[in-house]
Structure formats: C-alpha cells, structure tokens
A and B are shown apart, each in its own frame.
Chain A
Amino acid sequence: MQRQLANMKQTLFDQGYLDEQFIQLEELQDDANPNFVEEVVTLYYRDSARLIQNIEQALEKSPLDFSKLECLMHQFKGSSSSIGAKRVKSECTQFKEHCRVGNADGCKRTFQQLKKEYATLKKKVEVYFQFARQIGPVEKACRSK
C-alpha cells in the first residue's frame, strides 16, 4: 500500500502536475497537523473557485481589461504555486503573457486550458488523499528524510 501511494505521488511529479512545493507542504505535516496538506489543498480549491469565477466574468467583458485580468491571474498564480500546482502555474504564466501583449484570443484559449488542468489536478489529488487516508499514519513511519 505504501509503495502504491509513493508511486501515485511519483507519477504526479513525473507528469508535471506537482512540483517541489508540494514536498514542502508534506514536510510541514506532522502529528499535530496530520492532514495539513489536504487542508491546504482543499482551501486552495475553495478560495480559487471564486477567483476563477471573477476571471470568467472579466473575460466576458468587451473590450477586455487586460490589467485587471493580469492582476486576477497573478493572485491565482500565487496560490497555485504555493501548493505546487505546476501545470496550472505554467498556464497562469502563459495567460499573463497574453495579457501583457493584449492578446484576447490567447487569454481565452489559455484560460480554457487552465481550467482543464485545474480540474484534472483536483481529481488526481482527491484520489491521492483518499488513498493516503486509508493507509493512515503508518505512512509517516516510512517517509525517509
């Protein structure tokens, strides 16, 4: 079971869904905060849902307010990078680039891609956490440092 969990995690890293930052979060998890990572990620999805909605609304305006979009995306990128959401983060960067050059189509396209990555990551981490919860605290004993 341990190995399966480790493999799941490794796959997420190999496929570029998560980066170093996720490991940082795991290092902060301990007996006093046994579900820290899951809590942080859940909070992220809850908070960012609002941001996504705001960006969506802003993208429906005409003409687009690129500096507002860049600002919203900047916030989103900040949160995403704090949980290690690597692919989501790179879509954010692309989106900001499009804003910088005033490319409306680019923004809209990248945003669709971003939403896909965001949703995919959510499903994957949910599965990962579910599995981790089943294994329980035993996992910590096997974690090498």
Chain B
Amino acid sequence: MKKGGRKFSALVVDDDQVIRNFEEKLLARFELETKVVKNGEEALKLFREGYTFDVVVMDMEMPVKNGPEWYGGTCRPLVQATRALRAMGVDCMIVGVTSRGDGPEKAELEAAGLNCCWEKPLNDKIVRTILDELAKKSS
C-alpha cells in the first residue's frame, strides 16, 4: 500500500528484542519502511534528529530499565513518551500494543495523544487496519 508512490513508514518502540524482530518483519511484509528502537527515549531522539514516520507502534508497558526501579504495571513511561512526542509537534498516528486490554491506563494514554491500542501480539489484521487508517488520512 503506497501513498502516491511513497511507502508508509513505521517506528516500532518495544523493549523486547523478540517482539521488535517480529514486528519489524511483519510491518515490512506490508511494505512499511520500518525502524525499531528499544524505548521512548530513543524514539524521541529520532524525531529530534528530524526523522518522520507515518505511524509509531509502541508497547503499552515498557519498564524504564535505566531508572532506579521498575515502573512495572503502569504505562507511565508510555504516557510520558506519547505526551513528549505530541508536545514536539509529532502529529502522526501513534498506536499502542498491549496485553492488558481495557483499563484505566488506556484512558490516560488516549488523553496523552495515543490514537488507539490493540491487544498484543501485533498481527496482520491490525496492520491492515492501520494501513486503512493511513490511506484514509492521506486521501
């Protein structure tokens, strides 16, 4: 699926290498040019360096490993990352991938500027839905 000849681009943000690996391949299969990073910090860095993406796919709970303790069980780092991206003026689609389903965190994330979230793991149906959304936006 292309946008006037150009491919859509995606940024995967996930602290698990197995998942980064898998999501990168899955998105590439759908012809998305994909970059992968380990956490919110690295994602922000890319945007600051001038990279742009059509969609950012983020794991809902990413413990901040270089923090003094696990943030475990909350989406705090993700809320912060989403807010920071939006504050920078990043207006592309931001999608969360979770295994927690519906919860209070979801509302907080949407308030922070997350477009939507889905159950983990990412699969071809979800990618197709994302592509449909992107195609609608660009038309």
Using known A-B contacts A74-B61, A79-B16, determine if residue A43 contacts B21 with beta carbons closer than 8 Å: yes
Q: Which residues of chain A come closer than 8 Å to B61, judged between CB atoms?
A: 71, 74
Q: State how many angstroms separate the Cβ of B66 from the closest Cβ of chain A.
A: 15
Interface range on chain B (Cβ under 8 Å from partner): 20 to 34
B36-79 Cβ-contact flags toward A at 8 Å (1 or 0): 00000000000000000000000101010000001011000000
Q: Is the interface of A mostly helix, strand, loop or mixed?
A: helix
Residues of B within 8 A of A (CB): 15-19, 21-22, 25-26, 29, 59, 61, 63, 70, 72-73, 99, 120-121, 123-124
**Closest 6 interchain pairs by CB?**
A71-B72, A82-B121, A79-B18, A44-B18, A28-B25, A71-B70
Given A24-B26, A27-B124, A43-B21, 18 additional A-B pairs, CB 8 A: A20-B123, A21-B121, A28-B25, A40-B21, A40-B22, A47-B16, A70-B72, A70-B73, A71-B61, A71-B70, A71-B73, A74-B61, A75-B63, A78-B19, A78-B99, A79-B19, A82-B19, A83-B18
